[in-house]
Structure 1
Amino acid sequence: MLIDEVDCTVDAGSLTALVGPNGAGKSTLLHLIAAAEAPTAGVVELGGTDARTMRRRVRARFSALVEQQAETELDLSVLDVVLLGRTPHLSMLGGPGAADTDIAQAAMRRAGADALSGRRFQELSGGERQRVLLARALAQEPVLLLMDEPTNHLDIHAQLHTLSLMRSVADEGIAILAALHDLTLAARFADQVIVVEGGRVVASGTPVETLTPELIQLVYGVRADVIPHPVDGTPLIAFSELETPTALRTSIHSGA
């Protein structure tokens, strides 16, 4: 996916949801920020420094990426996988010590993965792997946490646990940018929402400012009603019917 003319900022202590239809460029943008892919133009800055000029270990201490899927041919235990998050903090010749193990185990408890500690990573279900990868990222102790569909493969209870954890981590001062599909969950937990479509940002702001019926119709091609959540007043989105918004999509791409 081509990403073009994207200009956005993720602040420390905030949870920012990155939303948009499949193929909009959410994963590509996260990979560019994580320096897993190199931009052909423009600059990705981490703490005011061009990410491309940072040493790999320094960059890994700054940001952590939790991807949708992770495969490995190595037969690693869950604890070993989580300890990989400590790699940027280790000396070149030294392995993880007792303090690193304590940090990894605390990260597993926070991510709800402590019961999986003795199992092999390859044997886990998709949802279990997701919790382990989140624990690895927490063990990395990043300043910026990038998450690509962190609720993928998770049941409703696990989704709410994960997003509540992300909210608490952001409240501790870490910047979080997470690609999410569920707009209601994005509206409930995020401070800011960035909406991408066709590789470009089409809206950004608070959930109330961005997740409007008009924008949802423009970007997703569906009619929706947005009402206050009965508990916390955050936007609750009720979808009603599909549309074929050819003219509306044309207006997005033309910048109208």
Structure 2
Amino acid sequence: MLDVSDLAVSFGEQSVVSGVGFSVDRGSLVGLVGPNGAGKTTVLRAVKGTLDPDRGTVRVGGEPISDRSAKAVSRLVASTPQGTALSFDFSVRQTVEMGRTPHLGRFDRMDEDDRNAVETAMERASVTQFADRPFTSLSGGERQRVLLARALAQETPVLLLDEPTASLDINHAVRTLELVRTLVEDGKTAVAAIHDLNLAARYCDELVLLAGGGIRAAGRPADVLTSDTLRDAFDAETLVTTQPGTDAPLVTPLADREAVDRRIHVVGTGKPAASAVSTLVGAGCRVSVGVVPAGDIAAERAQDLGCETVTVPAFAGIDDAARERAAELARAADAVVIAGETGDGNRPVVEAGGTCLAVEADESAPMSNGRDAVPMAALPTAVASLPPAAKRDATPSLNQSTTD
């Protein structure tokens, strides 16, 4: 439905994007992501025909938009802008009615079909209750939804959205993207510039990552949002795992800090253990996990991050082979970290290690296994302060008294 080929745009001597090309099938949502100033809005402006590119072609339904009038393009492509200002103080209904302009002649008045399109658009964007209010009386998020309704009223096959969730609270951001997904499933083609990588990963079929004037990566969210690619595009360190209940990537930015070169074995289950694994891997530790039930969130998180994980079937006991392998990993580690429930079957694993730290995701929770708990946020610092196993020699472990 939409094909962008070899697009190049510059302002004066400054090149903004060059060699940008991607295609969007009917019934698909493609997200444009990238750092500020990467050219996402510029690409959208070229696609909707309000900016003439220096080079390249934009085709809708196989036909170049450069061969069509502005009004004809507006019957094919609708858009929501990043800004929400209007030059005049129109009511919400009047603002949404502007979406019907491409379908009306110079002296035509709206008919019943036009009015139905306006009412349907307002209902879908959840702005019907604002119909008679001045547009300028609304909050930024409410204005964003009205402009989405205006775009829906155009009834075009292609929808372009420039930061559609930027002014919205999380509830309306999710509802907006759920609406876009519904439109896509009904056959509409959509392209959205989205600042939030995790929302983009969850709702988009494919992503196009723009940075440095061109495309750095394109494809499925899981293929685009990798730590290496994000480091290249954003010059930032990230931890990429999986969003709970989906196969979409979860991107967590990491503070700049020196990597903690420690080998850590994590014993525990559930969210505390999963958080400990993410925190430690993000800090640069080499992490192993187990014994943990297969399917537990801690096991899935560890496997997502490439950590060696010793698992047993859910609701099954810990067999000797699994216990011994986990104990070997604990003995080889600089420290064993206990996070969440461990069960009696993991006691030999904990005892096989030397230094032992307990961690709690909730600082108000009871201490784990009777040991003083390290807050999750302080875990990297606590681990970094430990000497590597090869240098500890006979140093007593932290869970033993010096008189043992």
The TM-score, its normalising length taken from structure 1, stands at 0.92
CA contact (8 A) 1:66 1:133 kept: yes
Residues 154-188 of structure 1 show CA distances to partners (whole Å, capped at 9, x for unaligned) of 00001000110111111111110000011111110
After TM superposition, give the deviation of residue 107 of structure 1 in Å.
0.6
- Aligned counterpart in structure 1 of residue 135 of structure 2, from 116, 121, 133: 121
Partner of 1:143: 157
Distance in structure 1 (CA, Å) of the matches to 2:197 and 2:149: 24
Partner of 1:3: 17
- Say which structure, 1 or 2, has more relative contact order (CA 8 Å, 6+ apart): 1
Residue in 1 aligned with 2:80?
66
SS of equivalent residue, structure 1 residue 231: coil
Which of the pair is proportionally richer in strand?
A: 2
Shift of 1:98: 2.6
1:51-83 Cα shifts (integer Å, max 9, x gaps): 111122211110011101132232211001101
Q: What letter matches 1:75 in structure 2?
A: D
Letter in 1 for 2:235: G
Across the aligned residues of Structure 1 and Structure 2, the Cα RMSD in angstroms comes to 1.3
4+ runs deviating over 4 angstroms: none
Matched, 1:27 2:35: no
Q: How much does 1:234 deviate?
A: 1.4
The 3-state SS of whatever aligns with 1:188 is helix
Query: What is the CA–CA distance in structure 1 between the aligned matches of 2:234 and 2:255, rounded to whole Å?
Result: 11
For structure 1, the residue ranges without an aligned partner over 5 or more in a row are 244-256
Letter in 1 for 2:33: V
- Aligned residue pairs, count: 243
Check if 1:111 corresponds to 2:129: no
Asked if the contact 2:49–2:70 (Cα under 8 Å) also holds between the matched residues in 1, the reply is no
Q: Secondary structure at the match of 1:178?
A: strand
Letter in 1 for 2:157: V
The answer for unaligned runs of 5 or more in structure 2 is 1-14, 258-404
Percent identity between matched residues is 39
Alpha-carbon offset, residue 232 of structure 1: 1.7
Provide the rounded CA distance (Å) in 2 between the counterparts of 1:120 and 1:43. 39
Give the TM-score normalised by the residue count of structure 2: 0.59
Q: Which residue of 1 aligns with 2:4?
A: none
The residue aligned with 1:248 is none
Task: Work out which of the two has the higher radius of gyration on C-alpha atoms and give 1 or 2.
Answer: 2
- For the pair 1:53 / 2:76, whether they are aligned, the reply is no
Question: What is the deviation of 1:233?
Answer: 2.4
Does the 8 A contact of 1:221 with 1:242 survive in 2?
A: no
Q: Which amino acid aligns with 2:161?
A: M
Kept in 2, the 8 Å contact 1:107–1:139? The answer is yes
Partner of 1:254: none
Q: Secondary structure at the match of 1:176?
A: strand
